[in-house]
Amino acid sequence: MKNIKNIAGAVLAFSAVLLFFGCGGKTNSSGSSSAASSSSAAQKTIKVKMTHTGTELTLAHQAFVVIKEYMEKNSNGVFQVDIYPNGQLGNDAQIVEAVQEGDVHLMFTNTGNLISFVPELGVLQVPFAFPSNETAYQVLDGSFGQEMLGMMESKGSMVGLGWLEAVAYRELSAKKQVRVPADMTGIKIRVMTNPIQNAIWENLGAQPTPISFAELYTALQQGTVDAQENPLELFISQRFYEVQKYITLTHHIFTTGMFLANPAWFNKLSPDLQKVVRDATMEGTLFQRKKSAENYDGYLKTLADNGVTVTTLTDEEFNQWKEKASPVNAMIAKEVGGQALIDKLFSAVQAAQK
């Protein structure tokens, strides 16, 4: 009888335990549901290799840091991103190949390095296409820019995620003040070995003279050439202000680049993680644009401090330059598949200015 009582007591005790835990599960249903959700959402860590060829001091690298931090934070640690700057994984051509083959997941490069894969990107070489940064940003962020990004996957075996600036505008410096194309008559200007560049400056009345960048300072100092064109960042870092005292903000070429992904890697990501990568790209882009504007103001101050006269063109003057250089567009049209794409670019620019 004693054994039967003991067994009955044990059964009652066990039932009480079950009842307790059953009730506990109901009273803590939200916690259990959250834990289950976290468990189902948990994913294996994804290691990401991201590269560019610039130094850690460039805006591109600073944007990479923003992108890395955003990806890691907003994926709850799923992404673990390593950045390889300074061409550690190769030059631009080599890292493009590495991304195409899947050895590298994400990269940035100037669009000039991608024209061999997507000739249509050559449309961005149209001179005097963008009168302002704001206009360029609206065009690139709009349907025209998205079409260019989309071509990267269909033709370039890479996913175009967004636009990052390379060095923004190329500007003109000369031995005298220049406001209109007529002021360029007879001016010897240093150019890269590039037929489109040669044609631009010939149409503007100058004498294009190919000289290596390494020899440019001496060529300006000795009068071998009278002018050159480069971004203000390079003009200042190379101390060209010591031998050239006049700059005209011609905005003749807007230099930009793409942030690209390996398609096999990107397309295997869940939609949520793909969104994290795309959102991270936009965060990096917006950061870089803000810093670029701040840096530009700093460049202008540095130029003024070093006795450089900076000339800003009126709308009428800018259009004079654009009109004089326009015959070059026929050359570009042949490379990008026809005039239609150039017309489409100009339509996008006009819409952005309204």
Average pLDDT on 194-216 reads 93
> CA-based diameter of the chain, in Å?
121
Query: Tokens standing for 46?
Result: 């994804």
Domain boundaries, the chain: 43-352
Cβ proximity of 324 and 201 under 8 Å: no
Query: Tokens standing for 274?
Result: 């793909």
**pLDDT digits 0-9 by tens, 70-115:** 999 999 999 999 999 999 999 999 999 999 999 999 999 999 899 9
Predicted pLDDT of residue 26: 38
Query: Tokens standing for 112?
Result: 């000039």
Q: Is the dihedral of CA 318, 319, 321, 327 positive or negative?
A: positive
Confidence bin at 192 (pLDDT 50/70/90): confident
Q: What CA–CA distance (Å, rounded) separates 102 from 229?
A: 37
Predicted pLDDT of residue 55: 86
Predicted pLDDT of residue 233: 85
Q: What CA–CA distance (Å, rounded) separates 278 from 304?
A: 39
Q: Residue 187: name the closest of 229, 232, 233, 218 by CA.
A: 229
In the CATH scheme, what architecture does the domain 43-352 have? 3-Layer(aba) Sandwich (3.40)
H-assigned helices in 86-243: 92-101, 133-141, 143-156, 195-203, 216-222, 232-237
Predicted confidence (pLDDT) at residue 44 exceeds the cutoff of 60: yes
Average pLDDT, the chain: 88
Q: Residue 287: name the closest of 299, 279, 298 by CA.
A: 279
Residues facing residue 79 across a β-bridge: 46
Q: Residue 283: name the closest of 95, 128, 72 by CA.
A: 72
